Amino acid sequence: MPPQLKTLLPLLAVFICIFLVARHFLIPESFGKYGHYRADSMDETAAIPINYVGKEACAECHDTETAKLASDLHSVLSCEICHGPGALHVADAEKGILLKPGTREFCGTCHSINPARRTEVINQIDTKEHHPEKDNCIDCHNPHAVWELKE
């Protein structure tokens, strides 16, 4: 064997050994359980807390509003569309401040006229021209039961 290889081959072997040992310690434990990834990362993702709690959670304390909402066309809407994510509020009703938007801009995000919106799906009004005598939409419409008009 040439003298060069007598040095190089053991050196190569040492490199490979170091690599294999390092690799053994560097690979996370759950790696490769289901596929080429860290299986634990799925559990970590699943453990993220939620922010949007859904109608049922609100119904526990606000049965009047929930019933009202269910009574009219806005029944398809989730409370949190208008009031914002409710997880904090559900955990502590005093603290988690919720939004109560009833302005023309806000209702307009769904109801303003746009040819891209189909009238079969949603009725649209000109937010500037529609009954301009009152400032906000909720001055006339009850946001929970929209055809309950205040006059």
Q: Which of residues 47-86 bind other proteins (CB under 8 A)?
A: 47-52, 54, 76-78, 80-81, 84-85
Using rule CB under 8 A, residue 9 touches other proteins: no
CA distance 123 to 112: 9
Task: Give which of ligand HEC, other proteins, none residue 33 binds (C-beta under 5 to 8 Å, depending on kind).
Answer: none
List, in sequence order, the alpha helices (H) in 27-127: 40-46, 55-59, 63-71, 79-83, 87-91, 104-111
How far apart are CB 58 and ligand HEC at their closest, in Å? 3
Output b/e per residue, 82-108; b: 16+ Cβ within 10 A: bbbebeebeeeeeeeeeeeebebebbb
Using rule CB under 8 A, residue 147 touches other proteins: no
Cα R_g (the chain), whole angstroms: 30
Task: Give which of ligand HEC, other proteins, none residue 20 binds (C-beta under 5 to 8 Å, depending on kind).
Answer: none
Based on CB atoms, which residue is closest to other proteins, 35 or 151? 35
Task: Give which of ligand HEC, other proteins, none residue 141 binds (C-beta under 5 to 8 Å, depending on kind).
Answer: ligand HEC
